[in-house]
Amino acid sequence: MGKLYLYGLLAGLSMIVAAYPASARNTADCDKLQSGKAEVLLNTIDPQPDVDKNGTGDACPQKGQANSQTPVKVVPINLGATGSGTIVKKATKGDILPQSEGALHEDLTFKYRIYRPEVQSGDTMILLHGSGQDETSLVSFASKIAPNALLLAVRGRVVQDGSNRWYRRLTPISFDQQGIRSEAKAFAEFLKQVTREYKFDPNRTTFLGYSNGANLVNAVMMLYPDLVKQAVLLRSMPVLTGTIEANLANARVLTVSGASDQLYAPYAPALEDLLRSHGARVEARSIKSDHGLGKDDVKVVSEWLAGGATAELKKN
């Protein structure tokens, strides 16, 4: 009799669990995610890119969507797997980062850090991170592709849903146009100030942008075409709307998209066509990757930098 009673009790509990609304369970899960919404995720690869990975299939309420995506951890680059070319080996030697000058600089309109290698080439690389990252996120990557360059790592000053960004987004594929122009203008002024302060040579300066940061770089190029002479745009797309007159004849650009990147790859050809139509010399590469960065990006960018683009830039 006791066993029959126990079986009946278990069956009843099973029916209650099955009847419990799935939406209620999802809401509970989303509430757990919301508790860490304001935390800046370090050592991640663009946890909150401009184009949502989950789209409308996300079961969480909209306010929790920014945290429903699983961050992709940065995987250390395996030197033995980067290829046998001397260019790549030179660019990826060691994992020792260049020395930072100390605390975060807050004297200008954007917060930034300066990293100087032990042996300086005279080149400068300006780093613009992706969504949800900060100014330190691309330092390791940049030190591999340009080990002797001074690094200026800048932090986007827009905070949306607890994450650092360079401009606000309205929907997954539309953006605050006034905000983009306002931040591009502020960044252009920042570049003039920091160039005077640190005596950067504009002819030996490369802009390295990733995702949201790369999008701001291409917006600055269109709005202030004389400021950017060489740029590496990783996982980028055009974000400005309307017709813009810009002469980019003095600009050299490398775009790198991920073949399996469902977020930005569909927009890569439009960006390349846009830059070329305004006179920029563009080399477009698509690699076997998703939205994250890895050893193939190091190889492609290192070869492009060492293959004549930087050397030619120095002559101008």
Dihedral through CA 191, CA 192, CA 198, CA 204, nearest 10?
A: 70
**286 or 58, greater pLDDT:** 286
* Single pTM value for the model: 0.71
- The predicted pLDDT at position 100 comes to 65
- The predicted pLDDT at position 50 comes to 57
pLDDT digits (tens, 9 = 90+) for 226-247: 999 999 999 999 999 999 999 9
- Name the least confident of 3-17, 26-40, 199-213, 222-236: 26-40
| pLDDT, mean of residues 26-36 | 28
pLDDT digits (tens, 9 = 90+) for 32-59: 222 222 222 233 344 445 543 333 322 2
Question: In this prediction, what percent of the chain has a pLDDT beyond 90?
Answer: 61
| pLDDT, mean of residues 129-134 | 95
**200 or 91, greater pLDDT:** 200
- The predicted pLDDT at position 41 comes to 29
| pLDDT, mean of residues 177-193 | 98
Nearest-5° angle of CA 267, CA 273, CA 275?
105
| CATH number for domain 40-315, candidates 3.40.50.10470, 3.40.47.10, 3.30.70.260, 3.40.50.1820 | 3.40.50.1820
Residue 312 confidence (pLDDT) above 90: no
Looking at mean pLDDT, say which of 22-36, 78-92, 172-186, 247-261 comes out highest. Answer: 247-261
- The predicted pLDDT at position 89 comes to 32
DSSP 76: P
pLDDT digits (tens, 9 = 90+) for 113-128: 999 999 999 999 999 9
The domains of the chain are located at: 1-35, 40-315
Instruction: Give the C-alpha separation, 282 to 231, whole Å.
Output: 10
CB 151 within 8 A of CB 114: yes
Question: What pLDDT band is residue 103 in, cutting at 50, 70 and 90?
Answer: confident
Nearest-5° angle of CA 206, CA 137, CA 62?
115
| pLDDT, mean of residues 7-29 | 40
Instruction: Give the C-alpha separation, 303 to 297, whole Å.
Output: 10
**170 or 53, greater pLDDT:** 170
Question: What pLDDT band is residue 171 in, cutting at 50, 70 and 90?
Answer: confident
Residue 308 confidence (pLDDT) above 80: no
Residue 152 confidence (pLDDT) above 60: yes
Residue 311 confidence (pLDDT) above 50: no
In 3D space, the residue among 174, 139, 141, 182 whose CA is nearest the CA of residue 158 turns out to be 182
| pLDDT, mean of residues 58-85 | 30
